[in-house]
Structure 1
Amino acid sequence: MVDLGHDAPRAEDATPTSHRAKVPGFVRRHKALTVLVSIALILLIAIGAWLIVLNNQIKDIPRFDADFDRPDRPARVQPEGALNILLVGVDGRGEDVRKRIQEGQTGILSDTMMIWHLSEDHQTSQIVSVPRDSWVDIPGHGMAKMNAAFSWGGPDLLVQTLEDTMNIYIDHVAIVDFEGFRDITKTLGGVPVEMADGTTQDLEGEDALAYVRERHSLPRGDFDRINRQQNFLRQVLWEVTRNGTRANPIKMTGLIGDLSKLLLLDDDWSDGDLRGLGLELVRKGAGHIDWMTAPTNGTGTSSDGQSIVNLDIPKSQELFAAISKDDFGSYKKDHPVAFLPKPENVP
């Protein structure tokens, strides 16, 4: 008599035994596919976790109360999706100037003013520096240097002064504390900058700050410092948006964390807009950027003896009108532009 209890499975056990054997059998037959699916799941979990961290860090970027609206503002003429962003550089030299600005304190000088126009498709940009010593009419105060507007009335008065002078609508303001650049340069492992003597130095920490702060030893003073600041930002953007950095979520998370220590934004800039713009830069890079300085008629002296920059207001208005309409390509064919020199030609 054959003992079926030991030599063959019982009828009621046949189906579950066969089912249990299918899964390991599938894995053995499709090892490559199984590995790919596992990697994909791990990546999805990692990306989801990174997006949560990214979202939290964006929320950590401080805001200030913005009140830019007024009846006589210039019209917003840029295409849907295009942006005019005012970048204001302040140098607290150890002070928490962002907190002072949030509290509405005055007396803070803006060393750097740049208007960044981001095109409708976000793949071309123009960044235009406005010399801080530009002699302009500041509402309620009369003629003075441009950076005095920020000192007297903070971001709101500076926006009003620039909008009235340039006839341009400014969507957002990003105030940059130069002190925070130290952390960004460390996270990047240094920022390679070509020097006037033909060498390339990886500027990091205090060396990077010294590079963007220097003015007195440069042949053209503040004009050369503008070029240095733009050149440094150009190199930082290249390092941040190049493929190696963009593909490294740990480094990108660190950089976004650095930005929360560096930036102060207007409160009209939502977390969603920032997240969308940041993710777009991570995916596509910064696109093509034209760096330049607003047209001027050289330097001079004010009636009270101050050294000033004579801003060419009609030409500046014409430049910003073309930029705002995403028409800079046509403009530069017929007009001279004070472009930022190549890195090797920046003093």
Structure 2
Amino acid sequence: MPDRDPRRGDGDDYDWLYGPGDDATQVVGAPSSQPYGGAAPYGSPYQQQPPGPPPQRPSDLPPMQFPEQGRPARATRSSGGGGWRRRWLRPRRIIPLLLVAWLVFLIAVPFWAWGKIDKVDATPEGERPADQPGTTYLLVGSDSREGLTAAQRKELATGDAEGRRTDTIMLMHTGSGPTTLVSIPRDSIVPIPGHGRTKINAAYAYGGPKLLVETLENTTGLRIDDYVEIGFGGFVNMVDAVGGVEICPKTKIKDKDAGINLKKGCQEVDGATALGYARSRHTYATQDLQRVQSQREVLGAIAGEVKSPSTFLNPFRYAGVVSSATDSLRIGDNVGPLSLGRFAWNLSAAMGGSGHNCTVPIADASVRWDKERALELFGYLKADQADKITKAVCTKDGLPAS
């Protein structure tokens, strides 16, 4: 028996691989009886591979990229069209940014002006009225010439007097009822601690804000919480900052001492004329009683202009109003920004007709207080019952209602 090729084993199991001849040495495809029908599947170890690197399988290829249908390509900085700029310049983005910037400006200007306000100790020593509901402010218009040049003093007819005197004295009470503004004629005869009975404006000349506060607390029984004072210069600049105000004198006024020559009827005036109008008294039969009404009239006109939309929409006007209001302003050292803001807001409300606006009750043109009616008025304010105030105790000139 011839030797068997060791590769063939003991039987014919490998005939399909080596073929029928002993010299068959090449690999051939599988017969049709195999499960692949004579052709091995792709990648089978039985498939004859062509020379060169093996072909890539589908799983080895990167996924194909297709543009999204119906969606435009996003603009980039390198697109050349400035798309990113256009997105930021859209109205829906600009308007909120402008509103935020405007709010910051409206808040920043008062805080900037706050640093220019002078503080003064207006709290009297010794025994004072107990705390009362609501808040009572003392508003003083002084004749201080501080900050005025010689030319301005001549223009405003203020003279060259040194120091400060009180041309305007007002008490304002705010609380649960209507805001109440009460003018105190400067010629009112009252007891001043340490100086006997004399005109109330002398209290300021004798002892400044402290003595004036003490005098008013002793006379009215009200506890004064906050003190606000404005000088001639601030008054004039504020009127000019709002572009002038309207006044309506009932008679022709020619007052050399106040530096004015006004016709009868409503008219627009500048700051210098408005100041003269608020100071004038010699042309009136009732003198000081008419002057306090003129002062409230001018304050009301200023308040109406200040709170108009044009003030808050015009940045130059807004900054001018805030700056001029604080240039000649002095406040009690216990008064904070919020308290001062509430004062300004309530003052404009009182002057706008939504509160009580009157002169302290007096008995006659000699500015002698009517004790009974005055105590009734101040009693309502002490109890924070301004809603009970009637025309019997609250009139424009202080005289009994006819």
TM norm structure 2:
0.66
Where 1:338 maps in the other structure, the secondary structure is coil
Alignment correspondent of 1:126 = 180
Report if the CA contact (8 A) 2:174-2:180 is conserved: yes
Report if the CA contact (8 A) 1:291-1:340 is conserved: no
Alignment correspondent of 1:189 = 243
Alignment correspondent of 1:260 = 326
2:371 pairs with 299, 313, 321, which one? 313
In structure 2, distance between residues paired with 1:311 and 1:282:
27
In structure 2, distance between residues paired with 1:224 and 1:40:
50
**Structure 1 stretch 170-179 or stretch 237-246: which is displaced more?**
237-246
2:99 pairs with 43, 46, 60, which one? 43
Per residue, is there more strand in 1 or in 2? 1
Shift of 1:298: 1.6
Where 1:60 maps in the other structure, the secondary structure is coil
Q: Say whether 1:75 aligns with 2:127.
A: no
Question: In the superposition, relative to structure 1, how do residues 134 and 289 fare at CA in structure 2: closer, same or farther (>3 Å)?
Answer: same
Where 1:68 maps in the other structure, the secondary structure is coil
Alignment correspondent of 1:176 = 230
Which structure would you say has the larger Rg?
A: 2
In structure 1, distance between residues paired with 2:309 and 2:346:
13
Alignment correspondent of 2:141 = 89
Question: In the superposition, relative to structure 1, how do residues 215 and 275 fare at CA in structure 2: closer, same or farther (>3 Å)?
Answer: closer
Q: Deviations over 1:246-299 (max 9, x none)?
A: 44444222211011113111111123433566689999x977232110011124
**Structure 1 stretch 231-240 or stretch 190-199: which is displaced more?**
190-199
Shift of 1:228: 0.7
Report if the CA contact (8 A) 2:356-2:394 is conserved: no
Higher relative contact order (CA 8 A, sep 6+): 1
Q: How does 1:219-230 map to 2 (within 5 A)?
A: 219-230=285-296
Shift of 1:190: 0.9
In structure 1, distance between residues paired with 2:204 and 2:247:
30
In structure 2, distance between residues paired with 1:56 and 1:287:
31
The RMSD of aligned alpha carbons is: 3.5
What letter matches 1:168 in structure 2?
Answer: L
Shift of 1:87: 0.7
In structure 2, distance between residues paired with 1:46 and 1:245:
13
In structure 2, distance between residues paired with 1:276 and 1:110:
23
Report if the CA contact (8 A) 2:247-2:301 is conserved: yes
Q: Deviations over 1:78-100 (max 9, x none)?
A: 2xxx32110111113x3459xxx
What letter matches 1:337 in structure 2?
Answer: C
1:216 pairs with 282, 305, 308, which one? 282
Structure 2 unaligned residues grouped into runs of 5+: 1-63, 77-81, 149-161, 252-263
2:220 pairs with 131, 143, 166, which one? 166
Alignment correspondent of 1:7 = none
Alignment correspondent of 1:245 = 311
Q: Deviations over 1:293-333 (max 9, x none)?
A: 00111244xxxxxxxx2122342232122134342222216
Report if the CA contact (8 A) 1:181-1:205 is conserved: yes
Question: In the superposition, relative to structure 1, how do residues 110 and 50 fare at CA in structure 2: closer, same or farther (>3 Å)?
Answer: same
Identity %: 29
In structure 2, distance between residues paired with 1:234 and 1:264:
21
**Structure 1 stretch 82-91 or stretch 41-50: which is displaced more?**
41-50
Where 1:217 maps in the other structure, the secondary structure is coil
Alignment correspondent of 2:362 = 296
What letter matches 1:159 in structure 2?
Answer: V
Question: In the superposition, relative to structure 1, how do residues 293 and 37 fare at CA in structure 2: closer, same or farther (>3 Å)?
Answer: same
2:298 pairs with 229, 232, 237, which one? 232
Report if the CA contact (8 A) 1:58-1:275 is conserved: no
Report if the CA contact (8 A) 2:141-2:231 is conserved: yes
Q: Which runs of 4+ in 1 moved over 4 A?
A: 10-14, 17-21, 275-283
Shift of 1:184: 1.1
TM norm structure 1:
0.76
Per residue, is there more helix in 1 or in 2? 1
